[in-house]
Amino acid sequence: MLTPHEASLRGRIGAYALHASHDPRLTTAKARRTFLARFLDQVDPDRALPEAERQRRAETARKAHFARLALKSARTRAKKAHNNEEAAGAEPAAAENPSKGVRHASDAEDPSV
């Protein structure tokens, strides 16, 4: 039985071998199309908008999706750093600089984001 780390390494080796022998744009084209279609469906499920407007809105929805992921990742990293500092007995970095980790003033004001 493989450990999770060994399984991850095996997967990485397989991906590298695949991409060494095939164009990765071709092997991932269907997955990319499916992923991007999600945003088209989200912004215009009835296909009522002109194509250019659908594309524009889908691109904006995609950017919002990745911005949410980035925010979630930043919060997770900050929480992990805070927990590591507390475990080490150090003062949390946020106490030294309350704006640390905040990219925009509006992020600090709106905890629901």
User: 12-36, pLDDT tens digit by residue?
Assistant: 999 999 999 999 999 999 999 999 9
Top pLDDT among 113 and 75 is at: 75
What is the band of 101 on the pLDDT scale with cuts at 50, 70, 90? Answer: low
User: 42-97, pLDDT tens digit by residue?
Assistant: 999 999 999 999 999 999 999 999 999 999 999 999 999 999 988 887 655 555 55
Q: Which two tokens stand for residue 67?
A: 């911005």
**3 state DSSP class of 102:** coil
User: 31-42, pLDDT tens digit by residue?
Assistant: 999 999 999 999
For the cut 80, the answer to whether the pLDDT of residue 110 exceeds it is no
In degrees, to the nearest 5, what angle opens at C-alpha 51 toward C-alphas 25 and 30?
20
3-state secondary structure 11-56: HHHHHHHHHHHCCHHHHCHHHHHHHHHHHHHHHCCCCCCCHHHHHH
